[in-house]
Structure 1
Amino acid sequence: MTSEPALTLFCLAHAGGSAHPYIRLAADLPDRVRLVPLELPGHGTRVREPLLHGLAPLIDEVVRLVGEQREGPYALYGHSFGALLGYEAARALTTLGTPPELLLVSGRNGPTEPLSHRPFHHLPDDGFVHGLQRIGGLPEALLAEPELLRFYLPAIRADLKVVETYTHAPGPRLAVPVASFAGRKDVLTDPASVAAWSRITTGVFDFTLVDAGHFFLQEPEFRAALSARLTRFAEQPRRSPAARGTASRAGQAG
């Protein structure tokens, strides 16, 4: 019996977030799913590196990290800001001929949908923090530590600017399954806008609601749903990368 991974799951965190919390997902994942949380410059263990400003350099970095650590079939999973990066990285990787097998996104409306709140990345720190609180965009643990919050603000601001200035560029739709997860109490998403993720793929789309707000990575309901989705995926027959690339040219994501 082989112990080689059947699928590598690359994870991308929310705005200002690090790779560390995603390590805990490993205990709930199906056997032979290899978990690889990706750390961006200026975040987590790479906090001493300069932040990347703008979508293009961030996607270049994600593509580089995936290329260095990919071992056979892989999937991308991102939460909120990470969902946007995961989608755009999937587009770039598809163009390079190495598309993911599956895209999983959570805590974000579809990329073709308008921004769900009024932009505030440009405000002074007090106004910026107030804006984050208003949209539920800060974990409770961080709110309880003002000094720690100030330390993370530059990374959160840089990432949120990418979200708030993002414009979806029309292009070929992905040809991979897309699975979306959202919290019923999340003010940043709504079911109709989350369902808009179906527009960016010619593959199967499914949508799971969990009883939570914006941050639900550690919620047992979400972890069980994520594991179940990956298990279903592992049981499905898959096409070759070349076939998926051909299918992606069949439609455009507007």
Structure 2
Amino acid sequence: MLLLRHVRRCRPRVLWVRWGGTRAPQTSNQAPDDSDPLNAVFSEIDSCDTSVHAEKLEPPKIVVASSAPATPSNSTSSVSDTKVRLEEAKHKRLQRQLKDATEELDALLNESRRMTAAESSNKYLPAKAAKTFLSSAELIQEKSPQEFVASKSSKAELEHLPVLRHSGCSAVVTLVGVVTEPPTSVTVDLPGVGEATNCVEFAVRYDVPFFQAQTSMGIAVRTVGASLCTFAKEGVGVGDVVHILGHLVPLTEPNSKGHLCCVYVLPAGGNVSVVLLKTAS
């Protein structure tokens, strides 16, 4: 069947003559004899070109990547991949630059904080406290409101329990704050003292630590006695950090700065000390 199919596809071109096992093409001037079917078949076979052309086996070509794409589809995909890679590299570079800038900013801020703290600490120097260890004679000479002379009935009163005559006494306070007003001389009437007493008054601002929000308070401070007044005038200035130990007394009328309370620093038990002295800038 395969032979017949092959024979049908062939077209007669030339006649082959067999001479002792060899064939040579010969042009036929006579029509083939159609009486013998085998002759017709062989004639058709001989007229066919049955030579086999060997195909050259070529090794597979290795595709080398080049700048110019081979096909439009490859070109489109390669361009898209290149854009994606460029965007990723750009994104990474921007992230790295942002990180470097953030670290540099943090370093600059920390350096600025350290410089500010150093400058702030350089403005203050340790200072000494006022001398308050005075003798009884010095206290009397400075017109201290306390009574240091024992009364005649004191011995009899000590033999029995003291009687509570009033519900309360002056509150002893200690505070640390910044001086906001310079010391000035004022004249006040102290209870228990017959004549007016000269005092030195200045204002102090301090923070209340136990409030949730930071609260700043202002209060007046008055020193009593020659030693404390001299120290306040000569050793206390605006911006100094001072430690006050005295008695808290409400004012009957607000002073010129609007303060309603005052801390009296008395020669007996009171003290004013400059913790940090502000230097001149």
Structure with higher RCO (Cα < 8 A, 6+ apart): 1
The structure that is strand-richer by fraction is 2
Same structural fold, with TM-score higher than 0.5 when normalized by the shorter chain: no
Could you state the TM-score of these two structures normalised by the residue count of structure 1? 0.19
Could you state the TM-score of these two structures normalised by the residue count of structure 2? 0.17
Tell which structure's C-alpha radius of gyration is larger.
Answer: 2
The structure that is helix-richer by fraction is 1
